[in-house]
C-alpha cells in the first residue's frame, strides 16, 4: 500500500469574478475620457482636391474649419444646389464668419490666439467666387493664417 493516493476527478478551482465589475468600469471610464466626439456634422459634399506637397497641422485645437461645397441631397430641397458655406454645425453666410472666429478665439488660451489657423475645406468643383468672398471676410476679421485642406496624391 502506498501512503499517497491520487485524487481522481479533482476539478480545478473556479476563477473568481469578484473584481470583474471593477475592471469593466475602469475600461468604461478610460474610453469615455479618451474618446473624442465629432463636434460637427458635415452637411455639404466636400471632396477636397489632391496635392503633392502637404504639411500637417500640429495643434488641431487651434484650427477652425470652414467648409464650402454643395449641400447633400437631404438638404437640397431647403438650401438648393448652389455652393454653400458651413461653419461648425450649420449653414452660414459670409457675414457670419467674424462671429464664428470670435467664438473660437474665446475658447483658446490668450497666449495661443495668434496661432489660430482657419482651414478651408473646399469641394474641387466649387467656383472661386464664394471662395474669394470667404477669403476677403477672413482678411477683414484679421484672420491671416489660412490653410487649404487637400488629400495626398496616390502614388
Question: Per-residue pLDDT tens for 29-74?
Answer: 998 888 877 667 788 989 988 988 888 888 888 999 999 999 999 9
Which structural domain range is residue 51 located in? 44-152
Question: Per-residue pLDDT tens for 98-141?
Answer: 999 999 999 999 999 999 999 999 999 999 999 999 999 999 99
| Residue 23 located in a structural domain | no
Q: For the chain, what is the domain count?
A: 1
pTM here is 0.73
CATH number at residue 105: 3.30.420.270
Grid coordinates representing 53 are: 506637397
The confidence band for 1, taking pLDDT boundaries of 50, 70 and 90, is low
| Residue 117 located in a structural domain | yes
Angle at 10 between CA 8 and CA 12, to 5 degrees: 150
The whole-angstrom separation of Cα 121 and Cα 48 is 6
pLDDT of residue 7: 65
Distance of CA 38 to the CA centre of its chain: 5
pLDDT of residue 18: 84
Whether pLDDT at 86 is above 80: yes
Question: Per-residue pLDDT tens for 102-114?
Answer: 999 999 999 999 9
Amino acid at each position: 500500500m502506498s501512503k499517497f493516493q491520487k485524487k481522481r476527478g479533482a476539478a480545478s478551482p473556479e476563477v473568481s469574478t469578484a473584481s470583474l465589475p471593477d475592471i469593466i468600469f475602469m475600461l468604461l471610464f478610460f474610453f469615455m475620457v479618451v474618446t473624442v466626439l465629432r463636434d460637427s456634422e458635415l452637411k455639404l459634399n466636400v471632396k477636397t482636391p489632391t496635392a503633392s506637397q502637404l504639411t500637417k497641422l500640429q495643434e488641431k485645437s487651434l484650427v477652425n474649419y470652414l467648409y464650402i461645397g454643395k449641400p447633400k441631397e437631404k438638404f437640397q430641397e431647403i438650401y438648393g444646389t448652389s455652393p454653400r458655406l458651413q461653419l461648425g454645425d450649420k449653414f452660414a453666410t459670409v457675414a457670419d464668419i467674424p462671429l464664428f472666429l470670435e467664438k473660437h478665439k474665446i475658447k483658446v488660451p490668450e497666449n495661443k490666439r495668434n496661432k489660430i489657423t482657419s482651414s478651408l475645406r473646399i469641394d474641387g468643383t466649387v467656383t472661386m467666387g464664394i471662395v474669394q468672398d470667404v477669403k476677403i471676410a477672413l482678411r477683414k476679421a484679421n484672420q491671416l493664417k489660412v490653410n487649404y485642406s487637400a488629400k495626398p496624391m496616390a502614388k
